[in-house]
Structure 1
Amino acid sequence: MSHGDLYCHNDSKYHKPATYDGSTHWQDYLVHFELLAEINHWDDHQKALELATSLRGAAQGVLSDLHPDMRRNYRSLVNALASRFEPENQSELYRTQIKSRLRKRGEPLTELAQNIKRLVRLTYPTAPLQVRELARYCFIDSLNDSELECAVFQAKS
């Protein structure tokens, strides 16, 4: 196999990553990207190239801030994007959003639950799964309906 064949995208098994423009959560995109990298059997060099070429808008702007060698280094690129789009000091903001999150009128419970689970994961990204189960209690508190809160709590106990 020649070097050119290694990166051929004409293979019917090639899965192209979605683009990333910084408007959605970086960790969500990174999970998607790394799963595709595994499916496509990319090494770190190929992952860096694929990630760099999938960036758009504000995310693409991160590339120009990096030294050219770092643009081709997967770890450096991931760290630069994480630093820009998921800064560590955001956990307090997410914690505040969790505390103030109430169910909107007519909002489906599944949508509310998913939103709270995401906020908990963003607030406590390194916490064990058991700790992140507190999302359940945050969800119950956010229902903004004492009868519904009681029913959900009893159903899950």
Structure 2
Amino acid sequence: MSGILSGTAWGVLTELNPRKRQDFDFLVQILNIRFGSAELSEMYKANLQTRVKGKDESLSELAQSVRKLTRLAYPSADSDLLYILVIDYFIDSIPDSEIRLRIWELGLKTINEAESHAIRLEAQTCRKTKGIPSINLHSMKVV
């Protein structure tokens, strides 16, 4: 088996004592522990639980990352559950607590809605911090 292993799997093999390397069942067990889907799923869940938007990361990039991590963390979940989990993890990963709260209060049903509202709220927050007055287009009259 050692002849077909490469990369990280080869690294796992080289860490074993020579006698254990000859035991096929043991090798399969060790490789399953290291690369098995249950362990990877737990790793992705941990990543999701600690995921926070990076300083130079856009909300669209964050949403895409959360979508991917959620699919990897919950590979057997049905699509309805995944939709809920993606929204929850996305909202939790937004660093601005005011934006997080406002998105939660809206009770949005899709990640696309949550993403677009978060982008809008982030833009408003950015305008406020720069002292740029907000324009309310809904109250303007067209002549």
Q: What TM-score does the superposition give when structure 1 sets the normalisation length?
A: 0.43
Q: What TM-score does the superposition give when structure 2 sets the normalisation length?
A: 0.46
